[in-house]
Amino acid sequence: MTDTLEAPPGDDAAPPTTERVAVLKHRRGSRWMHWINFPLITIMIYSGLRIYKAEDIYAFGIFGWEWFHFFPDPVYDTLDLNRRLARGLAFHFNFAWLFTINGLAYAIYTWRTGEWRQLVPRRRHLKDAWHVLLHDLHLRKDPPPNRGRYNEAQRLTYSFVLLLGFLAILSGFAIFKPTQLSFLTWMLGGYETARVIHFTVTILFCLFFVVHILQVARAGFRNLMSMVTGYEIVDRKVESHD
């Protein structure tokens, strides 16, 4: 798929210097599992917050003085989290299985296709990731060189999110079946620690959602469509044959 930029009409019109080319950026499997994960995680976070509201155990404070609960009451009222605990439990557990299956399928897919090489960061990428961050914050003028499909900051972020997904599954099973899976619960530091891990992972997922959406909006419409169609339209210089 190539769309050459035409020069203005005229007898002495200059030949085009660039052409638009559709370049494969995301494979079909990656796209499908990416978009499947979006509603799964959204439903799990919402149903999980409904479960959390039933006890509301975490709060901010210091030296035994409680300042406020993690979520103020207007949040619960706005999101309608004050009732239907049984429905929240049912949705959370059922969609957790779908999330686990999709995650396992993605792990097998990235291993079989070799796409894990595009995601896993290396030690030399840490410095470049810092440079990407400075460039995104407009504190550095020149961006670091792009060595693949994802820049170094994206590699670190996506790898971290995959780790969060793994921790979400492990800690979820640990608090769902603490007796049957007592060894897993023990490995995570006990039931209460597993709950803290699961809750922390949820908050980090929410933060990632916000940053990810902002970054997609910043990258532009072409980047968004590449996750839908698999192809990204890029401008490429036309080689001269003189």
Bridge partners of residue 24, in order along the sequence: 231
Indicate the pLDDT class of residue 100, thresholds 50, 70 and 90: very high
Provide mean pLDDT across the span 164-192. 92
* Residue 146 in domain: yes
- Residues 189-194 have a mean pLDDT of 92
Closest CA to 58 of 192, 191, 204, 164: 192
Same domain, 68 and 119: no
Last residue of a domain, one of 42, 76, 100: 100
Q: Are residues 119 and 233 in the same domain?
A: yes
Are 121 and 79 found together in one domain? no
What pLDDT was estimated at residue 1? 47
Question: Are both 123 and 229 inside the same structural domain?
Answer: yes
The CA distance from 72 to 58, in Å, is 11
Residue 228: C-alpha distances to residues 216, 235, 242 (Å): 13, 19, 39
Rounded CA-CA distance 160/158 in Å is: 5
Q: For residue range 38-61, what is the model confidence (pLDDT) as tens digits? A: 899 999 998 988 888 877 777 666
Q: Is residue 105 part of a domain?
A: no
Q: What does DSSP assign to residue 22?
A: E
| Nearest-angstrom CA–CA distance, 128 and 212 | 19
Residues 164 and 204: beta-carbon distance below 8 Å: yes
137 plus 220 within the same structural domain: yes
Whose structure tokens read 């957790």? Answer: 96
Statement to judge: residues 149 and 228 lie in one domain? yes
Sign of CA dihedral 65, 71, 72, 76: negative
Please identify, among 76, 100, 124, the residue that sits at the C-terminal boundary of a domain: 100
Helix locations, the chain, DSSP H: 28-53, 73-78, 85-113, 116-119, 125-136, 152-176, 182-187, 191-219, 221-229
Does residue 194 register a pLDDT over 90? yes
Name, of 24-33, 162-171, 231-240, the range with top average pLDDT. 162-171
Q: What are phi and psi of 132, to 5 degrees?
A: -60, -45
CA atoms within a 13 Å half-sphere pointing along the CA-CB vector of 189 = 8
Among the candidates 40, 66, 100, a domain finishes at 100
Same domain, 94 and 130: no
pLDDT in tens, 127-137: 666 666 666 66
Tell me which residue range forms the domain holding 38: 27-100
Q: How far is CA 169 from CA 98, 101, 102, 173, in A?
A: 11, 11, 12, 6
Question: Residue 126 — very low, low, confident or very high, per pLDDT cuts 50/70/90?
Answer: low
Place of tokens 């492990």: 170
* Position 149 in a domain: yes
Q: Give the pLDDT score at 158.
A: 83
Number of domains in the chain: 2
- 43 with 119, same domain: the answer is no
**How much is the average pLDDT of 108-114?**
89
Residue 17 within any structural domain of the chain: no
Question: What is the average per-residue pLDDT within 178-202?
Answer: 92
Predicted confidence at residue 156, as pLDDT, reads 79
Q: Cα(53)–Cα(190) distance, rounded to whole angstroms?
A: 22
Grouping H, G, I as helix, E, B as strand and the rest as coil, residue 208 is: helix
- Are residues 141 and 221 both part of a single domain? yes
Rounded CA Rg of the chain: 23
Domain-located, residue 3: no
Residue 143 lies in a domain: yes
Q: What are phi and psi of 232, to 5 degrees?
A: -115, 130
**Domain membership flag for residue 179:** yes
- Residue 14: inside a domain, yes or no? no
Contact partners, residue 208, CB within 8 Å, separation at least 6: 157, 161, 164
Residue 210 pLDDT > 70: yes
Phi, psi (rounded to 5 degrees) for 4: -80, 135
Statement to judge: residues 159 and 93 lie in one domain: no
pLDDT of residue 50: 86
